[in-house]
Amino acid sequence: MSSEQAAAALARAAEAGIHCLPIPTPFQVGRVNAYLIEDDPLTLLDTGPNSGTSLDEVDRALGAHGRRVEDLQLIVISHGHIDHFGLASILQRRSGAEVAALDGLAPWLERYEEGMDANDAFAEQIMAEQGIAADVRHALLAAWQGFRGWGAPVTVTHRLTHGCELALRDRTLRVLHRPGHSTSDTIFHDAERQIVLGADHLIKHISSNPLISRPLDWIDGGEERGEPQRARSLVDYTASLRATRAMENVELVLAGHGEPVVDHVALIDERFALHARRSRKIRRVIAAQPLTAHEIAQALWGDVAVTQAYLTLSEVLGHIDLLIDEGRVVEWREDGVVRYAGSSNSPS
């Protein structure tokens, strides 16, 4: 998409009363797109991370549209990543706005610190099982501790369910749960205007990473359900992309990062082709000998598999799950570590 086409797409959204507010983040992905929806209630979808710089930019961006934080009446959270909800609590306190989020995400948002502790313990266990050395695990966990301050707990006052409608004065947004990039990914479809507020479900310039995570229902009714199995993120994401590909009345997807998407079907087909190519590479890597997921990642990405160990591990495990479902790969546990092989060369 050219810069002119991107500008035209954003202008179309603005004519529909939806304004893109790019908010700075400290993360490699760059700015996150929050969206101001000029309606009743005055609505902000996503917030940016919990930082003074981001808050200043939210103030400035709202001011450019003749609004203030104190005017906000509804804050909607698309999913549980800190660049998307970190400022929600501060904005809620300043404005008195309601906060809406997916019902399964709400307990985690409200128990943020506890949830992050559980996430870290879960991640360390997964990394150990998949062959990542203790020193790498501990370095990653220490870095993640430093990121926690970019998020903050927030009280969810309006819980959303898959398929429900979020009714504003001048539009109705259908709420659609699209797990994959995270277990809580939620998109919002304005069928009348043929616009989807897509957050990180579909991003034009990068493939959304299907991150390893705990199941969304880890907390049920305020009680922990015990030690969770990991979500099969890429399997879930593939199903979510298929559902989005089949949607009607979609001409524009407003993404959580970067430019709008004007042909979601073509982009989703590109993602499917990318996943198929990566699956074939993984099959070739393990054709000669069984390997751990971390060893597969190192074969594919070299040192990046150490500096970005969790991201690359997520990619590998996502494709391994697909290949296991296809009967092309088998897994087994040996001395507490999981190894993978092509179905024709597995130990038996």
What is the span of the domain harbouring residue 246? 3-272
23/10 Cα distance (integer angstroms)? 16
- Per the CB < 8 A criterion, the answer to whether 74 and 98 are in contact is yes
What pLDDT, on a 0 to 100 scale, did the predictor assign at position 218?
54
Whether residues 249 and 295 share a domain: the answer is no
- Per the CB < 8 A criterion, the answer to whether 31 and 6 are in contact is no
pLDDT, mean of residues 234-262? 96
pLDDT, mean of residues 179-206? 96
What pLDDT, on a 0 to 100 scale, did the predictor assign at position 217?
66
What pLDDT, on a 0 to 100 scale, did the predictor assign at position 214?
85
The CATH number of whichever domain residue 331 belongs to comes to 1.10.10.10
pLDDT, mean of residues 130-151? 92
The CATH number of whichever domain residue 214 belongs to comes to 3.60.15.10
Whether residues 261 and 283 share a domain: the answer is no
What pLDDT, on a 0 to 100 scale, did the predictor assign at position 5?
82
Q: Is residue 226 part of a domain?
A: yes
CA nearest 175: which of 187, 158, 159, 190?
Answer: 187
Q: Which amino acid is at 319?
A: H
pLDDT, mean of residues 171-178? 98
Whether residues 115 and 232 share a domain: the answer is yes
Q: Is residue 184 part of a domain?
A: yes
Confidence label for 231 from pLDDT (cuts 50, 70 and 90):
confident
Whether residues 85 and 227 share a domain: the answer is yes
pLDDT, mean of residues 222-248? 82
Tokens matching residue 70: 């104190």
Tokens matching residue 161: 């369910």
Domain-ending residue, one of 272, 293, 308: 272
On the question of a cis peptide bond just before residue 41, with omega within 30 degrees of 0, the verdict is yes
Whether residues 332 and 184 share a domain: the answer is no
- Per the CB < 8 A criterion, the answer to whether 198 and 87 are in contact is no
Whether residues 66 and 165 share a domain: the answer is yes
Whether residues 154 and 176 share a domain: the answer is yes
Q: Is residue 348 part of a domain?
A: no
Q: Is residue 347 part of a domain?
A: no
Q: What average pLDDT is seen over the chain? A: 92
Q: Which of 168-172, 209-213, 292-296 has the lowest mean pLDDT?
A: 209-213
Three-state DSSP class for residue 224: strand
Q: Is residue 64 part of a domain?
A: yes
pTM of the model: 0.93
Three-state DSSP class for residue 227: coil
Q: How far is CA 44 from CA 21, 74, 191, 234, 345, in A?
A: 10, 6, 19, 29, 53
Three-state DSSP class for residue 163: coil
Whether residues 96 and 181 share a domain: the answer is yes
Whether residues 206 and 312 share a domain: the answer is no
Confidence label for 70 from pLDDT (cuts 50, 70 and 90):
very high
What pLDDT, on a 0 to 100 scale, did the predictor assign at position 264?
96
Q: Is residue 247 part of a domain?
A: yes
Q: Is residue 238 part of a domain?
A: yes
Whether residues 107 and 245 share a domain: the answer is yes
Whether residues 162 and 183 share a domain: the answer is yes
Whether residues 298 and 252 share a domain: the answer is no
pLDDT, mean of residues 206-227? 67
Say whether pLDDT at 172 is over 90.
yes
- Give percent above pLDDT 70 in the chain: 95
Confidence label for 223 from pLDDT (cuts 50, 70 and 90):
very low
What pLDDT, on a 0 to 100 scale, did the predictor assign at position 345?
56
CA nearest 121: which of 102, 86, 145?
Answer: 145
Confidence label for 219 from pLDDT (cuts 50, 70 and 90):
very low
Confidence label for 221 from pLDDT (cuts 50, 70 and 90):
very low
Confidence label for 1 from pLDDT (cuts 50, 70 and 90):
low
- Counting the structural domains of the chain, the total is 2
298/313 Cα distance (integer angstroms)? 9
pLDDT, mean of residues 115-126? 91
What pLDDT, on a 0 to 100 scale, did the predictor assign at position 7?
87
Say whether pLDDT at 225 is over 80.
no
pLDDT, mean of residues 50-62? 97
Domain-ending residue, one of 272, 298, 318: 272
Domain-ending residue, one of 242, 272, 302: 272
Say whether pLDDT at 344 is over 90.
no
| 37: Cα within 13 Å, side-chain hemisphere | 27
Q: Is residue 105 part of a domain?
A: yes
pLDDT, mean of residues 39-46? 98
